[in-house]
Structures are given as C-alpha cells and as structure tokens.
Copies of this chain bind each other. A is one copy, B any other.
C-alpha cells in the first residue's frame, strides 16, 4: 500500500495514527505531497483524489481511497477484527456519529479558519479566502472544544469506553488547533486531561519520524 500525505498535516495524522493502532505501518510506503507548495491542488494529485485533499491511500490494485474515515474503515477491516470503527450496530453508529461530529465541530472548522482567516498555506495556494467565514468557524471550533469537554466528563473516550476512530478525529482537531495556536480553554479540564493522555499514546507520539519532521520544516 502507498499513502500520499504530508507528514505533519493534521488529516494525515489521522491515518498515521490508525495505521499504528492497527500495526500496519510497516506495510505502507509513504509518498510526500507538499502542502506548502500546493502540490495537492495540482493535476497529478487531483487524479488520485478529485477533492484535492490529503491523505490518499493507494491499494496494490491501483484503487485510490481518499477521505480519512474511508481509509480508516479500510484499514480497520483488513484483519477482520475491527478495533477502531465498532463491531455492534450501536458501536458503529455511535463511533461514526462522534467521528463526524469531531470533523464538523472541531477539525474541519479549524481547517476552514486556517485556510480562510489566517495566511494559511500562503498566497500562491490560498487563491480565495473568506475571512468572515473563517472566523466564524474558529468560534465554532472553540464551542466544539467545550462540547467535547462535556462528553469526556462522562466517559473515558470520545465514543464511549474504548479508544476509537472518533478519538483519532478529535486528536486531529487538537493537532490542528496547536498549529494555529488555538488553545484549549483552561476550564475544559476533562478535554485537557484526555489530550495529555492521547499525546502520550505511542500511535500519536510517534506519528512523524524525526527525519520526516526535519524534512517538513519549510
């Protein structure tokens, strides 16, 4: 399998964490698509993924799978023993709901803020910006932090008693929040405590190798 990504990106992080959780990292070859020079919006990458986003998984039969949730579903099903996407109907439903909510209310909102109300990837890549919309999405993400704090007051993980794809998506959100210097509000103690635990998790901590980290600095 090949994964096209950018090592330090928050969306790529979701798939890297899933890979590590499933012990699949050694089966994957990574190919860098440089976000900062807008390679993800050029024809070569658009042929892999119409939406022009990262990461994209390429299977050995040359099928391209884009979208983190889709890639995670694929990876989690490979060994016949799903641990990230649920096994019972209720688990699947709740995990997918919380995963989507983490996108809508946190990760995607911060992404829109970054691309529209900050310099984002720079003027060559950000050819259209809508700052007003970007700032609204930032405020939505801050409300989202309070929401997930409330959730994590009642249970150890985002979708219940076990780590799941939904945790990974909130982790992606907080990685992005760090990049844009959006702090978790001090009063969100349950979210802070959960985030400290997640950052110590090997799949999260080791998602980027030291040499990738060095290469990714522009």
* Chain A residues packing against B (C-beta within 8 Å): 50-51, 57, 59, 63, 65-67, 69-71, 73-75, 77-78, 86, 88-90, 92-97, 99-101, 104-105, 128, 130, 132-133, 136, 147
Instruction: Verify A74–B101 contact, CB threshold 8 A.
Output: no
Instruction: Verify B50–A147 contact, CB threshold 8 A.
Output: yes
| B contact residues around A100 at 8 Å (CB) | 67, 69-70
Given known contacts A101-B51, A147-B50, is B57 in contact with A71 (CB within 8 Å)?
Answer: no
| B contact residues around A50 at 8 Å (CB) | 101, 105, 147
Q: In the assembly, what is the distance between CA of A164 and CA of B59, in Å?
A: 21
Q: A59-B90, A70-B99 are in contact. List 9 more A-B contacts (CB 8 A).
A: A51-B104, A63-B93, A65-B97, A66-B97, A67-B96, A67-B97, A70-B92, A70-B95, A77-B92
| B contact residues around A96 at 8 Å (CB) | 67, 69-70, 73
| B contact residues around A69 at 8 Å (CB) | 96, 100
Q: List 30 A-B contacts (CB under 8 A).
A: A50-B101, A50-B105, A51-B101, A57-B93, A63-B93, A63-B94, A65-B93, A65-B94, A65-B97, A67-B97, A67-B100, A69-B100, A70-B94, A70-B95, A70-B96, A70-B99, A70-B100, A71-B93, A71-B97, A73-B86, A74-B90, A74-B92, A74-B93, A75-B89, A77-B88, A77-B89, A78-B89, A130-B130, A130-B132, A130-B133
